């Protein structure tokens, strides 16, 4: 990711844009923060928010005409927030908390003609910035039209307090000036810039036309004269006075600094915001009105009204994604962290874990109003990490070894249908289905051979998606190439995939091959005679994340379910919006606890028992405690299986062994071939109780690893012994990880008591 | 982790040499970094014990730190 790419990404996520209220406010008061403080009864905090942006908060806070109120998001579902009354409550109960500092004097003298609110604001803003300001007015007091307010709304002492404030910043106020042409000529000569407040009686006599200031800069002419405030066609608006005073002061600053008066001023004054806030599901609470309207809000009333603020933000993607929630961030910040992470040359790359924890599932992109491509960002970052050798080796190694095994001599095979030497079709069950339900794979295959003409070949292997997800481009490329060569050798049959990940991979990376999902084939063709009764209860369908953009596959699945009489209920986060089970992006390997959270979250989308048609979703949700079946369990039930909803998660070891057993079984029974002989250590028989098995799954240790350790220890005699209980402890490092096993010989094999591993290399590590 | 000691009494004895394990200084290595640590090992054949607590605790922590370097 380079700087421009980061900028583009940052602009795509609008979470940091202003809420509607502060965008609509002509001086962009942080209304959301103001409400937040009031709601938690942090009165001083609320006042500080006003003091930061609002000039003469004691005055303006009492009479603000709240142009933000109609923009408030709550208006969509009921009453908008009572911003004005809350400001009034705040400034009349809490004295100033933050006095803005005065910057060092920097020359440039400005005349402010008039003493209404826009003149006051311009004078205050310019004096704060260190400008020399003289305020000249024909009046004897400040305030202009504000003096017309009733005492109980704007007490005279509060209004005249503005004189002290202006004094304290060094504004020289001259009351009782006679505003005429001579006066103006002198003023013009003595000052570098002039602001005319149109809320001032004598302006007409000054031989300058202030009626049509430029709307962006408020300039009248081009010699440093500016005008604003007063009554417009929309009447006399308090916030318009403040806005014009501020806009004029910013123009005068630019004028004095001799920089562009017009560049980049779109965000001054009321403006549009791109922030996207969803109000669906938010309770439309009624506005809290003060019990005594004349007295205004009590503290409790104010806090209650402010707590109706929904604290507008977007985070629509975060609300649904376990990964974004875990790292408590929204994509804009994630992108920034990724950028910073890859810029690190020396030091700890703290975002590695985060980058490897995205499920690359694309849900956020569908949800986001601007299609933020989080998955693509994380995946390409992983590619870069691999290329620069900064990818932590432990993150994906276990999954990649599993893939290697699926593609290796003990699990992979490709054959024409027994007795035939060509294939019109090729059934590709995928590594996870072969690992999860090998008997079902066999039954499905036999069904296809019986019902499709022209020969159905079989290929066991892995599509290579783990390599792609983990950023191993080279490995993925090789895998795809080998696959394509094999398919060509079989005469380019139409590939039938049972796994939607395989389907997605082949479609994207081998577009010249013909691919269809098993569900489409079964839906169009003949379904098996049913052997398992449909469940009594309604099931909810858990779509896998890889069919997010495959409506036809999703429809085929639903059509099959209907035909076989399984009643289902949809849940809101299915289809295009479906969650990943945690396997996506190899997240469950790089971040084991988060993987568990993600599968639990997917399972909890509905209270109903589930139905999956991705083997990995099925197994992960089963592991998370959901009762869930695979669609194939109902179509091609394995012998001896009772309720498909109760089929346990086979775990990593189970899947590993299942794949090997499937190949061996099919080769011997269907093709009458000699199986590949397993290595000698596979003869070691293990007894592992469920608890140790759970531990091994979490620790990514396979039975295969234990067999290697014990085989080696028993052969060499190199092992520790606990004389108390007769347990042995041995270790072995087959490749990069050292495995330790605590075991005890048994008549028929070995009882496993514990297993753990580390990657640190010991001096005597047996290789 | 450099120059750390992880010695503690243990029930484990070397099954090969039938000896009690003794504290022993060894070099362990990961991602090109070498640490000299004290672990329990067989005084005769040098079989080094890495207890579960160490493997899943301090050792894992250091491994992950080095992987993110
Ligand atoms: S609900 Fe709160 S944050 Fe949202 S627009 Fe209204 S005042 Fe602003
Ligand atoms: S896990 Fe899925 S929804 Fe979450 S950020 Fe990654 S791609 Fe988006
Ligand atoms: S949906 Fe997510 S990525 Fe999109 S704008 Fe909102 S917070 Fe940002
Ligand atoms: Zn020994």
> Cα dist. A254→A126, A208, A219, A265 in Å?
11, 22, 12, 11
Regarding an ipTM greater than 0.85, the answer is yes
Res. A551: pLDDT tops 50: yes
Does residue A500 belong to any structural domain of this protein? yes
Q: What is the pLDDT of residue A182?
A: 85
Contacts of A352 in chain B (CB under 8 A): 67-68
Q: What is the pLDDT of residue A178?
A: 87
| Chain B stretch 7-36, residues whose beta carbon is closer than 8 A to a beta carbon of chain A | 11-16, 21, 26-31
Q: Would you give the end-to-end CA distance of chain B in angstroms?
A: 15
Inter-chain touch B60–A724, beta carbons under 8 Å = no
The C-alpha atoms of residue A41 and residue A86 are separated, in whole angstroms, by: 12
Tell me which of A13, A362, A577 to substitute to probe ligand 2's pocket, judged by most ligand atoms within 8 Å of the beta carbon.
A362
Q: How confident is the model at residue A492 (pLDDT cuts 50, 70, 90)?
A: very high
Q: How confident is the model at residue B1 (pLDDT cuts 50, 70, 90)?
A: low
- Asked if residue A34 lies in contact with residue A52, where contact means CB atoms within 8 angstroms, the answer is no
**A-B Cβ pairs (cutoff 8 Å, strict):** 87
CATH classification of B2-68 is 3.90.190, yes or no? no
Does residue A264 belong to any structural domain of this protein? no
Kindly state whether residues A119 and A250 are assigned to the same domain.
Answer: yes
Res. A610: pLDDT tops 60: yes
Show the CA angle centred on residue B51, arms to residues B49 and B53, nearest 5°. 160
Kindly state whether residues A357 and A476 are assigned to the same domain.
Answer: no
| Residue B60 sits at the chain A interface (C-beta within 8 Å) | yes
Q: What is the pLDDT of residues A239-254, one digit of tens each?
A: 999 999 999 999 999 9
Using the mean position of ligand 2's atoms as its centre, give its distance from the Cα of residue A372 in Å.
10
Number of domains in chain A: 6
Res. A389: pLDDT tops 80: yes
> Cα dist. A45→A26, A49, A308, A383, A510 in Å?
21, 6, 18, 46, 60
Q: What is the pLDDT of residue A180?
A: 84
Given A394, A717, A731, which is nearest B15 (Cβ)?
A: A717
Res. A189: pLDDT tops 80: yes
Q: What is the pLDDT of residues A728-743, one digit of tens each?
A: 999 999 989 999 999 9
Q: How confident is the model at residue A63 (pLDDT cuts 50, 70, 90)?
A: very high
Q: What is the pLDDT of residues B22-38, one digit of tens each?
A: 999 999 999 989 999 99
- Asked if residue A18 lies in contact with residue A386, where contact means CB atoms within 8 angstroms, the answer is no
CATH number at residue A697: 3.30.2310
Kindly state whether residues A150 and A63 are assigned to the same domain.
Answer: no
Q: How confident is the model at residue A767 (pLDDT cuts 50, 70, 90)?
A: very low
Q: Which of A368, A392, A416 is the last residue of a domain?
A: A392
Using the mean position of ligand 2's atoms as its centre, give its distance from the Cα of residue A149 in Å.
56
CATH number at residue A239: 3.50.50.60
Kindly state whether residues A520 and A659 are assigned to the same domain.
Answer: yes
Provide mean pLDDT across the span A738-751.
Answer: 94
Does residue A724 belong to any structural domain of this protein? yes
Whether the CB of A483 sits within 6 Å of ligand 2: no
Atom of ligand 2 nearest to the CA of A598: 1
Kindly state whether residues A555 and A634 are assigned to the same domain.
Answer: yes
Kindly state whether residues A509 and A625 are assigned to the same domain.
Answer: no
Q: What is the pLDDT of residues A292-315, one digit of tens each?
A: 998 999 999 999 999 999 999 999
Res. A765: pLDDT tops 60: no
Provide mean pLDDT across the span A192-207.
Answer: 87
Q: Which of A524, A469, A472, A537 is nearest to A496 (CA)?
A: A524
Kindly state whether residues A55 and A128 are assigned to the same domain.
Answer: no
Atom of ligand 3 nearest to the CA of A370: 4
Tokens of A640: 């001896």
Res. A406: pLDDT tops 70: yes
Kindly state whether residues A643 and A756 are assigned to the same domain.
Answer: no
The C-alpha atoms of residue A673 and residue A675 are separated, in whole angstroms, by: 6
Q: CA torsion A554→A555→A556→A557, rounded to 10°?
A: 50
Q: What is the pLDDT of residues A444-467, one digit of tens each?
A: 999 999 999 999 999 999 999 999
Q: How confident is the model at residue A58 (pLDDT cuts 50, 70, 90)?
A: very high
Atom of ligand 3 nearest to the CA of A324: 2
Q: What is the pLDDT of residue B3?
A: 60
Kindly state whether residues A414 and A511 are assigned to the same domain.
Answer: yes
| Residue B46 sits at the chain A interface (C-beta within 8 Å) | yes
Kindly state whether residues A489 and A420 are assigned to the same domain.
Answer: yes
- B46 Ramachandran zone, left/alpha/beta (phi>0; psi -120 to 50): left
Atom 6 of ligand 2, residue of closest alpha carbon: A358
Q: What is the pLDDT of residues A268-284, one digit of tens each?
A: 999 999 999 999 999 99
Q: What is the pLDDT of residue A477?
A: 97
Provide mean pLDDT across the span A482-489.
Answer: 96
Query: What is the Cα A72 distance to its own chain's centre?
Result: 25
Q: What is the pLDDT of residues A361-377, one digit of tens each?
A: 999 999 999 999 999 99
Kindly state whether residues A344 and A226 are assigned to the same domain.
Answer: no
Q: What is the pLDDT of residues A311-368, one digit of tens each?
A: 999 999 999 999 999 998 899 999 999 999 988 888 889 899 999 999 999 999 999 9
In chain B, domain spans: 2-68
CATH number at residue A64: 1.10.1060.10
- Give the residue numbers in A contacting B (CB under 8 Å), as ranges: 347-350, 352-353, 392-395, 717-724, 728-729, 731, 738, 740, 754, 756-764
Whether the CB of A708 sits within 6 Å of ligand 1: no
Res. A590: pLDDT tops 80: yes
Inter-chain touch A763–B47, beta carbons under 8 Å = no
Does residue A673 belong to any structural domain of this protein? no
Does residue A531 belong to any structural domain of this protein? no
Question: Which residue from B minimizes the CA distance to A717?
Answer: B16
| Residue B37 sits at the chain A interface (C-beta within 8 Å) | no
- Asked if residue A658 lies in contact with residue A434, where contact means CB atoms within 8 angstroms, the answer is yes
Inter-chain touch B15–A754, beta carbons under 8 Å = no
Nearest ligand, CA of residue A15?
3
Res. A766: pLDDT tops 60: no
What's the whole-number average pLDDT of chain A?
94
- List the domain range (segments joined by +) for residue A342: 316-392
Give the CA radius of gyration of chain B.
Answer: 13
Does residue A614 belong to any structural domain of this protein? yes
Query: What is the Cα A356 distance to its own chain's centre?
Result: 14
- A111 Ramachandran zone, left/alpha/beta (phi>0; psi -120 to 50): beta
Q: What is the pLDDT of residue A764?
A: 66
Kindly state whether residues A483 and A517 are assigned to the same domain.
Answer: yes
């Amino acid at each position: 990711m380079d700087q421009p790419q980061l900028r583009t990404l940052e602009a795509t996520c609008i979470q940091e844009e202003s809420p509607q209220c502060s965008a609509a406010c002509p001086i962009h008061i942080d209304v959301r923060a103001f409400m937040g403080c009031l709601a938690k009864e942090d009165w001083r905090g609320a006042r500080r928010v006003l003091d930061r942006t609002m000039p003469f908060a004691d005055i303006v806070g009492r009479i603000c005409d709240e142009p933000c109120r109609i923009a408030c998001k709550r208006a969509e579902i009921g009453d908008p927030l009572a911003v004005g009354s809350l400001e009034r409550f705040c400034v009349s109960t809490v004295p100033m908390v933050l006095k803005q500092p005065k910057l060092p004097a920097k020359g440039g003298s400005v005349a402010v003609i008039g003493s209404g609110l826009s003149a006051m604001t311009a004078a205050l803003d310019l004096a704060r910035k260190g400008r020399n300001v003289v305020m000249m007015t024909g009046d004897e007091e400040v305030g202009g039209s504000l003096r017309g307010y009733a005492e109980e709304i704007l007490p005279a002492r509060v209004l005249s307090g503005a004189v002290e404030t202006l004094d304290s910043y060094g504004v020289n106020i001259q009351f009782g000036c006679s505003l005429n042409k001579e006066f103006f000529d002198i003023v013009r000569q003595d000052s570098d810039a002039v602001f005319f407040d149109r809320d001032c009686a004598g302006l007409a006599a000054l031989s300058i036309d202030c009626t049509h200031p430029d709307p962006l800069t408020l300039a009248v002419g081009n010699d440093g004269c500016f005008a604003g405030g007063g009554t417009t066609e929309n009447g006399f608006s308090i916030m318009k006075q403040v806005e014009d005073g501020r806009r004029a002061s910013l123009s005068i600053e630019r004028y004095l600094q001799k920089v562009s008066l017009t560049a980049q001023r779109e965000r001054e004054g009321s403006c549009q915001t791109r922030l996207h806030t969803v109000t669906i599901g938010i309770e439309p609470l009624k506005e809290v009105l003060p019990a005594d309207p004349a007295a205004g809000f009590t503290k409790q009333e104010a806090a209650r009204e402010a707590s109706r603020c929904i604290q507008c933000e977007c985070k629509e993607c975060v609300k649904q994604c376990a990964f974004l929630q875990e790292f408590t961030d929204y994509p804009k910040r994630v992108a920034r962290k990724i950028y910073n992470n890859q810029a690190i040359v020396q030091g700890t790359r703290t975002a590695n874990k985060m980058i490897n924890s995205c499920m690359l599932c694309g849900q956020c992109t569908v949800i986001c109003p601007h299609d933020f491509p989080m998955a693509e960002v994380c995946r390409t970052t992983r590619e870069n990490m691999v290329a620069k050798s900064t990818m932590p080796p432990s993150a994906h190694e276990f999954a990649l070894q599993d893939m290697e095994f699926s593609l290796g001599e003990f699990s992979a095979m490709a054959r024409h249908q027994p007795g035939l030497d060509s294939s019109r079709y090729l059934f590709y069950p995928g590594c996870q289905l072969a690992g999860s339900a090998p008997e079902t794979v066999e039954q499905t295959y036999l069904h296809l051979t019986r019902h499709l003409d022209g020969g159905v070949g079989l290929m066991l292997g892995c599509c290579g998606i783990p390599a792609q997800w983990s950023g191993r481009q080279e490995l993925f490329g090789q895998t795809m190439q080998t696959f394509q060569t094999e398919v060509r050798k079989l005469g380019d049959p139409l590939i039938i995939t049972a796994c939607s990940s395989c389907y997605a991979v082949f479609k994207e990376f081998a577009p010249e091959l013909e691919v269809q999902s098993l569900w489409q084939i079964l839906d169009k063709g003949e379904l098996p005679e049913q052997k398992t009764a449909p469940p009594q209860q309604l099931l909810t369908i858990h779509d896998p994340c890889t069919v997010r953009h495959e409506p036809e596959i999703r429809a085929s699945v639903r059509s099959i379910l209907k035909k076989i009489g399984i009643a289902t209920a949809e849940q809101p986060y299915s289809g295009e919006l479906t969650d990943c089970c945690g396997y996506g992006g190899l997240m469950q390997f790089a971040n084991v606890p988060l993987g568990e959270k993600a599968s639990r979250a997917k399972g909890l989308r509905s209270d109903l028992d589930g139905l999956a048609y991705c083997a990995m979703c099925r197994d992960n949700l089963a592991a998370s405690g959901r009762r869930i079946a695979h669609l194939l369990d109902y179509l091609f039930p394995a012998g001896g299986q009772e309720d498909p909803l109760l089929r346990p998660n086979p775990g990593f070891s189970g899947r590993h062994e299942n794949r090997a057993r499937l190949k061996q079984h099919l080769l011997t029974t269907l093709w009458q071939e000699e199986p590949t002989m397993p290595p000698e250590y596979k003869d070691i028989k293990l007894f592992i109780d469920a608890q140790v098995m759970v531990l091994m799954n979490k620790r990514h240790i396979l039975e295969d690893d234990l067999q290697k350790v014990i085989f080696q220890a028993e052969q060499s005699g190199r092992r520790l012994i606990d004389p108390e209980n007769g347990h042995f402890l041995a270790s072995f490092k087959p490749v990069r990880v050292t495995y330790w096993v605590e075991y005890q010989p048994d008549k028929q094999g070995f009882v496993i008591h514990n297993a753990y591993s580390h990657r640190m290399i010991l001096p005597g590590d047996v290789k | 982790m450099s120059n750390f000691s992880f010695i503690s009494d243990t029930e484990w004895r070397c099954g090969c040499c039938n000896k009690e394990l003794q504290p022993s200084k060894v070099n362990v290595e990961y991602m090109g970094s070498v640490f000299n640590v004290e672990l329990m090992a067989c005084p005769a054949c040098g079989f080094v014990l890495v207890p579960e607590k160490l493997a899943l605790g301090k050792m894992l922590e250091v491994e992950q730190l080095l992987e993110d370097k």
